[in-house]
Structure 1
Amino acid sequence: MQLNIRNEKPHDYRRVEELAREAFWNLYFPGCHEHFVIHKMRDHADFIKDLSFVIEVDGEIVGGIFYTHSKVVAEDQTEYQTISFGPVFISPDYHRQGLGRKLITYSIQAAKEKGYRAILTLGFPYHYEPYGFLGGKKYNISMPDGKFYKGLLVLPLYEGALEDLSGYVVFSNALEVDEEEVDKFDQSFPPKEKKVQESQREFEKAASMLDE
């Protein structure tokens, strides 16, 4: 198995969107919108092209990771620039082969080399703790509602990056989409059935879990 991680190129776009749709369909809610998020974010001012990678197995794309600018806003309204990843995915056909780990590790290293302060993301803690992410509460970083959630995960990229800093995170609005836009975009793909499944309940529960 020959692995290669590289920056996404324009000719990859549709394939990446198809794979993202496969990977996320019915995972967090019936259907998915990640394929449209990726499609839309590429033209957004917050998109970080240099940190958006695809992973190939034997020359075929099987996954991707995408970064956008985010920030932490302190009480005095000072803004600290950070970055965030998501969507990140591996094709369901290639799960449990360590490819996601390779892709995330590679992108973190690239972000360190470019001198970014910290990565903030939302997800299941057990997915990201192995890379050194900790809950936002450890760094005095909350969600905009001022609450600390277990699903807000933070990774400083250099020594002292988040020292004497506290505030709330603001993620890029590149990640926000309109249901109608998603449905319209989705019509250009083969039809798939939207279903309710257990993973959606788990996600809902995890997303609202406070770090107390």
Structure 2
Amino acid sequence: MNISLEQPAHAAAIEQLLDTSFGPKRHTKTVYRLRRNIAPVADLCFVATETDADGQEVLLGTIRYWPVMLGGKVHALMLGPIAISPDRRSDGLGGKLIRHSLEQARALGHRIVILVGDAPYYVRFGFSRAVVAGLSLPGPVDPARFQGLELVPGALDGVTGMVGRAAPARTRTPALRTASPAVRPAAKITTLPLPAADPVSPNPVPLDLPVSRRRLRRAAR
């Protein structure tokens, strides 16, 4: 298994994985409205892949981050969506993608990450409801699933208001670093409800903890 930056060649397989995981109506959710016409953060969009017996690259998982504004003035990242192939949900792959991407976000100087997901899961990666208590989302969302993480201690101190869209930029998919053939999605892909492997329970946790199927069905959307 290999974790690398998302490339244009991964696009079709990623969309298939997300549709299978979250359904075709996923674009109507509040978090998707915050992402609409906004480019994801290319340096934080990762895929997990492996090579099959025929030498083809197979997509096992995907994670993306998007720019948002808090209270109209504080820049932050929104984690999601994250999805994992069903036959790999118990491998801790979701947790590996989260830990890897959060480490990269910290190294790049980002200060805040928010998400909507299963709290018990993301807590292990350091996410909590308390740090975003002064913030709200522009649409229906279960408050208990709205969480945040300070990559820099105190980054969310005194931050209040509405979570809003980042200024529209030229929409583009993560830059193509190296040419590569189209990637084949793994069979029977489903959402990685970061239970024991991916969603709302962020607190650096062991990368290889087994994930329950029930938790995996509630991945970060």
Task: State the TM-score, normalizing by the size of structure 1.
Answer: 0.65
Measure, in 1, the Cα distance between the counterparts of 2:167 and 2:18.
Answer: 19
Q: Distance in 2 between matches of 1:171 and 1:123?
A: 19
Deviation at 1:4, TM superposition (A): 1.0
Supply the AA of the counterpart residue of 1:134.
S
Residue in structure 1 matched with residue 68 of structure 2 by the alignment: 70
Equivalent residue, structure 1, for 2:150: 156
Please give the residue correspondences for 1:90-169 in structure 2 after superposition, counting only pairs within 5 Å. 90-136=84-130, 139-144=133-138, 149-169=143-163
Q: Report if the CA contact (8 A) 1:70-1:82 is conserved.
A: yes
Deviation of 1:139 after TM superposition, in Å, equals 4.8
Query: Taking structure 1 as reference, are residues 96 and 11 closer, same or farther at Cα in structure 2, changes over 3 Å only?
Result: same
CA distance in 2 between partners of 1:62 and 1:93 (Å): 9
CA 173–152 in structure 1, closer or farther in 2 if over 3 Å, else same? farther
Cα RMSD over matched residues?
3.2
Q: Aligned pair in 2 of structure 1 residues 136, 143: CA closer, same or farther (>3 Å)?
A: farther
Pick from 70, 77, 80 the counterpart of residue 83 of structure 1.
Answer: 77
| Counterpart amino acid of residue 16 in structure 1 | I
Count of aligned positions: 161
2:211 is matched with none
Residues 156/148 of structure 1: CA separation in 2 closer, same or farther (3 Å cut): farther
For 1:53, which of 36, 46, 56 is the aligned residue?
46
Q: Which has the higher contact order (CA 8 A, sep 6+)?
A: 2
Give the whole-Å Cα distance in 2 for the aligned partners of 1:53 and 1:116: 16
Change (3 A) 1:80 1:115: same
Separation in 1, partners of 2:159, 2:145: 20
* Cα pair distance change 1:57/1:126, threshold 3 Å: farther
Tell me the equivalent position of 1:12: 10
Larger radius of gyration: 1
Report the Cα distance in structure 2 between the residues aligned to 1:68 and 1:115, rounded to whole angstroms: 15
Q: Percent identity?
A: 28
Question: Stretches of 4+ moved more than 6 A in 1?
Answer: none
8 Å Cα contact 1:22/1:91 also seen in 2: no
Q: Secondary structure at the match of 1:6?
A: strand
Q: 1:82 to 1:130 in 2, by over 3 A?
A: same
User: In 2 relative to 1, CA 15–46 (structure 1 residues): closer, same or farther, beyond 3 Å?
Assistant: closer
- Unpaired segments of 5 or more residues in structure 2? 52-56, 169-213
Could you tell me the TM-score, scaled by structure 2's length?
A: 0.63
**Aligned equivalents of 1:66, 1:47: Cα separation in 2:** 7
Larger % of helix: which? 1
